[in-house]
Amino acid sequence: MNDHTINPRMIVRRTKLYVPVNREKFIEKAWTRDADCIILDLEDSIAPNDKATARKMVKDVIPIVNKGGAEIQVRINREFEEEDLDATVIPGLTGLMIPKCETVEGIKRLDRLVTQLEKDRGLPEGKIQFDLIFETAKGIIHVEQIAMACPRIVAITTGQADLSVDLGFTQMKELNFEQYFYAENKVLYAAGAAKLQPHGMGAQNNVDFTSISMGPEAMLKACRHAFWLGYMGTSVIHPGWIKPANEGFTPAPEEVTQARRLKALLEEAYAAGKGSASMDGRMYDVAHMKHVEYTVARADAIEKREAEKSAALKATGEIA
């Protein structure tokens, strides 16, 4: 379970944009896209023969893609994890996307490797975070234990494409719910138990998350659906999805307004020695207070994150 001073549930990573580290055209524009986080990809989007060259680019790419205030993660290759870590555990890195998570020991090993690199390079120890991707049946079966493997872990998600291969699914958007319901819900509950962020868009029929033809309205609807289920953000492969996804994983303004109003009302009731209060014909008590406090805190964190990104963009002098 994460025991850092940073509360993983208050990290704002509604959108994480995948960018192949060796695609200059994408790198040059990534910082302008308004993603909360940019994932420099060394894994699936890099051809096997280009892996060694790509990892050498990370150190030069980080200062470019973080100009807009986005946090920076790198998705590593598990078969080249030591080489990838050596090239990416450097200043400017926020965290690592770790694919194909299957065992507690595998994550603990990566924790040890990163800790040693932090020590050797004079970096703050324990600050580099882990986002875990579960892409096999073995990983899903053990997700509860793996989610608590080390304090660096802040978010977990499924990788539906690889999971479908491992399980022998024929991918059909009409069957997404039936195929992924178990895996997605197990990850969702494991994240809750470990006090981490569940990421992704869950199991939804008739939504193809890999098709770049999916429009912003469909993306907003899918993200809002996932948000209502408890997911806190998702990774995206197309910059056109960032705006609707950011909106989809943000509490609606009317929800925040009502939460602030109810919070004030309950605080007033508590001060008067009462354990509940009525608002708009409904009764509210301590359990409701916990929910509204979370909603308000989440909204405040998002507002702060947006201000940070806006300030970073203005500081470049390239965007008004």
Is residue 35 within 8 Å of 29, Cβ to Cβ? Answer: no
> For position 211, what pLDDT does the model report?
72
User: What does the domain layout of the chain look like in residue ranges?
Assistant: 8-248, 253-316
Token pair belonging to 116:
């040693």
CATH classification code of 8-248: 3.20.20.60
> For position 261, what pLDDT does the model report?
94
Which sign does the torsion angle of CA 190, 194, 199, 201 carry? positive
Is residue 131 within 8 Å of 95, Cβ to Cβ? Answer: yes
Output the tens digit of pLDDT for each of the chain's 320 residues: 444 568 999 999 999 999 999 999 999 999 999 999 999 999 999 999 999 999 999 999 999 999 999 999 999 999 999 999 999 999 999 999 999 999 999 999 999 999 999 999 999 999 999 999 999 999 999 999 999 999 999 999 999 999 999 999 998 889 999 999 999 999 999 999 999 999 999 999 988 767 777 889 999 999 999 999 999 999 999 999 999 999 999 999 999 999 999 999 999 999 999 989 999 889 998 889 999 999 999 999 999 999 999 999 999 988 76
In order of 43, 97, 174, 196, 262, the CA distances from 186 in angstroms are: 25, 19, 21, 13, 32
> For position 291, what pLDDT does the model report?
92
Is residue 124 within 8 Å of 118, Cβ to Cβ? Answer: yes
Instruction: Please list, residue by residue across 41-63, b when 16 or more beta carbons sit within 10 angstroms of its beta carbon and e when fewer do.
Output: bbbebbeeeebeebbebbeebbe
In order of 1, 185, 273, the CA distances from 189 in angstroms are: 14, 6, 35
Contacts of 232 (CB under 8 A, 6+ apart): 9, 13, 14, 155, 197, 198, 199, 249
> For position 101, what pLDDT does the model report?
98
> For position 1, what pLDDT does the model report?
40
